[in-house]
Structure 1
Amino acid sequence: MRGVDTDDTDGSSRAELPSDVPLYTHVALSDDFVPFLCSRNAAEDRVKIERILLDHYDPDQQKWDGWAWAKDQASFKLSEALQTLNSFCTETEFLPLEDIRMELPQSEGTMSESKRFLGAVILCDELISPVLVDSLQPFAALSKLHLSRWMFLKRVYGILLSGSSMVFIRLDRAGVVLSNEIDIHQNPKVILQALFGCLALAKDSLDATISWTRDDFLFARREDNQSSDYVLEEPLFHNPRIPGSGARVFLVHEATKPETQLVLKDWWRESDAVDEGELLCEVSGLFGLPEYHAHWTVFLGDQDNQDYDYEFEQQSEDVAPVELERQLLIHSRLLSTVRGEHLLKFRNSPRVVLTAIHDAILGHWSLFQAGYLHDDVSYGNVLVLPSPVPAAHYRNYSKLPVTPLLDQCTAILIDFDTAIPIAELREGRQLLRPKTKKGTAVYMSTRIMEGSERFGSWVQDDLESFLWVLLVTAFWVKDPLAGLAKSSIEYILKKILFPDGAGKDSKIRDHKLGLLVVFSRESRRPFTYADPLSRQYHEVIKKWCTYAMDRYFTPKKATEEEIVGDEQIYLDVLGILREAIASLS
């Protein structure tokens, strides 16, 4: 089970995760949710329902016998109501209703805690009518904990319950779906049908393509009458943010080929974004990019008339958003062949760091020439290869804009799930970026953070993002303790790029341009460094920041001759890095 509940422990990797967005603000109210639940009743469920109604419901009084009555909402006790519901089913099947406000027993280990989900669990909370978005916070908090921790749990079902009404709820990696309120006493059959349907869906919410034996944790691939099992060796990365992709990366090997290691990415991709698997298959073999092995959409053979696992069922299309529109997410897996290391491991070797960024920029160039803008350059997306690869190995070797350093490739640029096809970008001198730009504020370009228009170049913003990757890597040291160290550039940079409290993105935006200004010129007061090693990065950062400032202040009414195009910007930035690398030799 190792790797199922892992968290990334690299501080700079954690810092690149997007800002928290409350799951309970992504809410959709669906008139079709209850009918959909009822449609999941099996024949034996219908027999149980009739027996329960006969034994426990008084049709003349239109009320349940033995129901946990409450004179008012304040005296309503959820625990008693859940006991009553469970008592209805003791002769047939126990409903696994769990009060979310009850403290769970401490787990002795990952395996024992995970067994809670080998059987279905329906989370329950008190219904305060009318349902307000903020009232979903406790429910959403527990669901987020389960969904972010257990990758084999696809969604969480539950009910909100009062003395007279019930609301059904589903939480997944895209947000929340709510039913309308149902009167418990006026609609007894619907209540039971929906309950048993909810139970069936809760059982189906476990990913059947993930399993484990006593020794191994397995991912199954089933498609085109072929099957493969991949054994987990080591967890590499986990983005626990929900709503979001829930991306996890593992080192695995095929069960029949234990000698061959692969990197498996498991995530929920947006349906309107590029298919990263298809894209990597297209660009595999290009300099500075990962090598493709396989990809697939997670197949669920136990769902009628639905081949693929979508976060938002097709039966629930008639959904009106309460606050924010829900994303349609598709569960996907991707295998590549090479594992890399993050830059911080090599911070003490500036030549290695600068060469890796140089080669990752060539990977960005390869992707751009193939027709895609990466659009999410960040620290976590630049990986140093375990050993250099001869440049001639790559099929675009002869077309690269510069000769590879030492005729080899030392790093790759990964993660294409937010890449933009160049064909979809607006043509012309005034190149306006999509308003839906996503990414990590720390690494976004200054103009993108300001929401400004871009003139003349598409790649300029991404290449500035590489500069922020270098800044974070070069100056990432443990917090200085006291005295003059607090005036050090490392301390100041951390305070500006990784602020505490609310409104982090706006705080970063307000200071980014100022940082470029400071680094691009000689200060009257020399920089103070907490770590002498940081000084070795000073000159290259100064030159690159000066170049970024020149690009930032390119006048909007500049003539065509004054606008620097994409190819020249690549050459300029690569030239700055190559000069710095040569000086370190």
Structure 2
Amino acid sequence: MADQIRSEIIKSNPIGKGLDALRASFSSICKDKSISCGPDALSQLRPGDLQNLTINLIWALQGLLTSRLLPSTGGGRSLFDDLLRLNSAVSSDDFDFDRTKPLLNAALVDSPEDTFLWDQEHRRYMDDVLKEELGPIYVGLRDFHHTYFGDVADLKRTSEAFFKQCIEGSNPLFDDGWIGWPKDANQDDVLNWFADFSERLSTFAEGHKSTRQRRPLAKPNEPIDGSIAIRKMDVGFVDGSNAKKDSRCHWSRILVPGELMSNPYAREVLAAKDTRRFVLGFTICGSLMRIWEFDRLGGIASDQFDINKDGLRFVTTILGFLWMSEEQLGFDPTIMTSGDKRYIDIELDGQTERLIIDKRMKRAPWIAGRATTCWKAHRKGDPQTPLVIKDSWQYVEREEEGELLREATDRGVINVARYYYHETVEVGGTDDDIRSTVRKGLDVMAAENYRAGCSAMSRNISVATAPRKGGSTAGLKRSSSQTDASLPPSKRASSASRTKAASGSVPNRVHRRVVLRDFGQPIYEASSPAALLRGLEGCIEGHESLHKAGFLHRDISTNNLMINEDNNNPSWPSFLIDLDLAIKEQREGVSGAKGKTGTRAFMAIGVLLGEQHSFMHDLESFFWVLFWICVHYKGPGQERVVPRFDKWNTVNDMEELAQIKLGLITSEGFFHRNMTEFFTEYYRPLTPWVSKLRRIVFPGGQNWKREDMGLYFSMKEVLREAGKALSDA
């Protein structure tokens, strides 16, 4: 069914002339180099030429409606999201462009077969590129098995008894004895053997102690529900009170993912269940098995063992997966369930307070990163007062968001999400972090591929912050190192994190929780253009208040500006969230801070060029937020694709992006032509006001360095005038 829908999408949306510009570019390159545009031409081109052709192809595919309709292969909303990430990888300095030649050849033929081309894009490249999002992977940790299975009660004794009976042929469930992994069998036979063995082992285990309601899963050809993409899984273990062998499965019920030949689908499992701290899985290649653990730093794996030579270890592993508690399998024990309600308990002013979770607002779909999850909640007995619980895994180098929020709230800052509480999450009486709690002290430096992993880590790490125990409030946010479903954040790494990765030391992430008193929607969901302008004005006022209190936000973006149009909601009408990248300013010294931080599409030109980050740069980011919304939204929350500007998120060179933005705003005539061409009909009435803001934020066109506190007043005044004009029209 899924393949049929995919075929219909491709057939109904032919590529047509969508690749003509790519072919023209290819012909021009070949002509300049005096080579024939034949099948062997790509092998004669330099990496730089291949990079340009590949990027042009990705942009062309992004501009086709098909890329928005085909499902993602990696947890995004569509293939378009995958193309954004592929573009980012292709733009890096160490991408192997031999991998793109078959794809380019498929696109450059005179009459490409559409299905073949889209299949090339999906199957040949996406899996390799998306694996880079896993973070560093360390394999061959010899203490892995004891670390994760050693504390499962009665596991060793029961496994030994079971295996002994199998060898002797005395177990009635295995009257054919221990035959080991099937040899010369096809995939279906192997999967049936695995499922059958696990079922019989589960039956045996029930006679020794209460076994949880689990069953093996072996349906490699059946898509699993609960993913944006059409995803399948070879083998694994499923949880559920109605776990029946032939029932349809959902990713949220996958306890342990497993694969034949490849890495387990930990991404899907982590994204589907918002209480998952880490995921255990396994891979089987022939008779060789390896156990995996995936968390917010990446992944680690056991040494590889042969099922036929070490059957007891295999039995112990399978029985361990059947017997492990949910906490041992990576679920967060601090998020509890009573009936159909979920809740957390916090200690506030010496008393325990219960926060009831109403709904999940967001969950980052990727493995490595902050993995920010946000829930709307309320205090028990007070459902009318909304709270936001923000859960994330933070690096510890920077100032803590919870402390910054508490201090800002205490200083009376307006239009910024107000603090209620924050803590470092504790599991088993200790702070929950990756090194000690999740990986239980396993030393990745003992891994077989540690040095190679360090090299990958130095490319993947980016900034985050961390709150400690004791305080309250912040809102929605994307992972700093991963891609948001609607907008890739492309956060810049802190120098401390890059230095740590380059030096070979292993980073750590700590599990933090912040509770906020303000709830709203992203500003691009404003009910009207006038409401958008009012919301933007309020957020600028919040930034000014924050700045006067001695804080610099440094991450003004569409997802960090919130609006509240519900008269029954006591939150600010509009407000800033997310102080993950915020700093305290040194009032005695120069205003600002070094380092390129923020969400790439909205970063100020000066920041992209390496200037100290000041409040002026944040005000420029407000301008880019308004411009972006006018280009990308056809109405409240109705996003569209505009390749010319979407690529801002994936330009690898910061100075190149600065030049692109500078070229856009330098000439008033050129800027006006872009507004006329790209503003949606819904936001086209804002054209003169956005143009007026441009003249204020960039006086003299190229002078974007204006250091004037009066800019706060000037920008708010323009927004206020624009709102009045729209209301009077």
For normalisation by structure 2, the TM-score amounts to 0.58
* Paired residues of 1:377 and 1:466 also in contact (CA < 8 A): yes
Rounded Cα–Cα distance in structure 2 between residues aligned with 1:471 and 1:530: 8
* Paired residues of 2:387 and 2:516 also in contact (CA < 8 A): yes
Distance 1:510 1:202, change over 3 A: farther
Q: Which residue of 1 aligns with 2:611?
A: 454
Q: Which residue of 2 aligns with 1:287?
A: 414
Structural mapping, 1:235-384, within 5 Å: 235-284=360-409, 285-300=412-427, 303=428, 306-308=430-432, 310=434, 312-319=438-445, 320=450, 322=453, 323-324=456-457, 328-346=508-526, 348-350=528-530, 352-384=531-563
Counterpart code for 1:342: P
Distance 1:54 1:226, change over 3 A: farther
Q: Which residue of 1 aligns with 2:686?
A: 537
Q: Secondary structure at the match of 2:711?
A: helix
| Displacement of 1:547 | 4.6
| Displacement of 1:549 | 4.3
* Paired residues of 1:520 and 1:542 also in contact (CA < 8 A): no
* Range 191-200 or range 260-269, more displaced: 191-200
Q: Secondary structure at the match of 2:196?
A: helix
Q: Secondary structure at the match of 1:353?
A: helix
Counterpart code for 2:710: L
1:412 aligns with 2:580: no
Q: Secondary structure at the match of 1:453?
A: coil
1:53 aligns with 2:163: yes
Q: 1:171 aligns with which of 290, 294, 301?
A: 294
Q: 2:255 aligns with which of 121, 125, 131?
A: 121
Rounded Cα–Cα distance in structure 2 between residues aligned with 1:519 and 1:21: 40
Distance 1:198 1:330, change over 3 A: farther
Counterpart code for 2:345: R
Q: Secondary structure at the match of 1:77?
A: helix
Rounded Cα–Cα distance in structure 1 between residues aligned with 2:606 and 2:186: 52
Higher relative contact order (CA closer than 8 Å, sequence separation 6+) = 1
Distance 1:66 1:584, change over 3 A: closer
For normalisation by structure 1, the TM-score amounts to 0.71
1:571 aligns with 2:713: no
Counterpart code for 1:157: L
* Paired residues of 1:265 and 1:334 also in contact (CA < 8 A): yes
Q: Deviations over 1:178-211 (max 9, x none)?
A: 2221233444554445555555656322223334
Rounded Cα–Cα distance in structure 2 between residues aligned with 1:531 and 1:36: 56
Structure 1's unaligned 5+ residue stretches are: 1-6, 59-63, 128-134, 394-407, 480-489, 556-562
Distance 1:65 1:535, change over 3 A: closer
Distance 1:461 1:71, change over 3 A: same
Rounded Cα–Cα distance in structure 2 between residues aligned with 1:542 and 1:413: 24
Distance 1:491 1:163, change over 3 A: closer
Q: Secondary structure at the match of 1:157?
A: strand
| Displacement of 1:75 | 10
Structural mapping, 1:151-170, within 5 Å: 151-170=274-293
Rounded Cα–Cα distance in structure 2 between residues aligned with 1:372 and 1:518: 33
* Paired residues of 1:73 and 1:163 also in contact (CA < 8 A): no
CA-based RMSD of the aligned residues comes to: 4.8
Q: Secondary structure at the match of 1:471?
A: helix
Q: Deviations over 1:211-233 (max 9, x none)?
A: 4455x432212548743332233
Q: Which residue of 2 aligns with 1:558?
A: none
Distance 1:187 1:56, change over 3 A: same
Distance 1:469 1:92, change over 3 A: same
1:473 aligns with 2:629: yes
| Displacement of 1:147 | 1.3
Counterpart code for 2:277: K
Rounded Cα–Cα distance in structure 1 between residues aligned with 2:82 and 2:180: 48
Q: Secondary structure at the match of 1:91?
A: helix
| Displacement of 1:414 | 0.6
Q: Which residue of 2 aligns with 1:103?
A: 222
* Paired residues of 1:288 and 1:411 also in contact (CA < 8 A): yes
Q: Which residue of 1 aligns with 2:343?
A: 219
Q: Secondary structure at the match of 2:356?
A: strand
Structure (1/2) with the larger strand percentage: 1
Q: Which residue of 2 aligns with 1:396?
A: none
Q: Which residue of 1 aligns with 2:8?
A: none
Distance 1:459 1:361, change over 3 A: same
* Paired residues of 2:297 and 2:434 also in contact (CA < 8 A): no
Rounded Cα–Cα distance in structure 2 between residues aligned with 1:16 and 1:252: 33
* Range 529-538 or range 328-337, more displaced: 529-538
Counterpart code for 1:328: N
Rounded Cα–Cα distance in structure 2 between residues aligned with 1:220 and 1:416: 23
Q: Deviations over 1:485-539 (max 9, x none)?
A: xxxxx99993422359x95777977743333235576758993587666354233
* Paired residues of 1:298 and 1:333 also in contact (CA < 8 A): yes
1:434 aligns with 2:595: yes
Rounded Cα–Cα distance in structure 2 between residues aligned with 1:230 and 1:446: 42
Rounded Cα–Cα distance in structure 2 between residues aligned with 1:174 and 1:297: 18
| Displacement of 1:467 | 0.8
Q: Which residue of 2 aligns with 1:405?
A: none
Q: Secondary structure at the match of 1:161?
A: strand
* Paired residues of 2:662 and 2:702 also in contact (CA < 8 A): no
Q: Secondary structure at the match of 2:575?
A: strand
Rounded Cα–Cα distance in structure 2 between residues aligned with 1:411 and 1:54: 67
Distance 1:186 1:14, change over 3 A: closer
Distance 1:175 1:519, change over 3 A: farther
Q: Deviations over 1:536-569 (max 9, x none)?
A: 42333223334554598459xxxxxxx754xx2x
* Paired residues of 1:21 and 1:243 also in contact (CA < 8 A): no
| Displacement of 1:89 | 5.3
* Paired residues of 1:97 and 1:121 also in contact (CA < 8 A): no
Distance 1:261 1:277, change over 3 A: same
Counterpart code for 2:442: S
Q: Which residue of 1 aligns with 2:10?
A: none
Counterpart code for 2:217: E
Distance 1:217 1:309, change over 3 A: farther
| Displacement of 1:379 | 1.0
Distance 1:118 1:209, change over 3 A: farther
Q: Which residue of 2 aligns with 1:581?
A: 720
Rounded Cα–Cα distance in structure 1 between residues aligned with 2:679 and 2:628: 14
Q: Which residue of 1 aligns with 2:148?
A: 37
Distance 1:465 1:69, change over 3 A: same
Q: Secondary structure at the match of 1:288?
A: coil
Distance 1:111 1:90, change over 3 A: closer
Counterpart code for 1:36: T
Structure 1 stretches of at least 4 aligned residues deviating more than 6 Å after TM superposition: 13-20, 72-76, 110-120, 490-493, 504-510
Distance 1:33 1:369, change over 3 A: farther
Q: Which residue of 2 aligns with 1:443?
A: 602
Rounded Cα–Cα distance in structure 2 between residues aligned with 1:203 and 1:186: 30
* Paired residues of 1:52 and 1:89 also in contact (CA < 8 A): no
Q: Which residue of 1 aligns with 2:33?
A: none
Counterpart code for 1:575: S
Q: Secondary structure at the match of 2:714?
A: helix
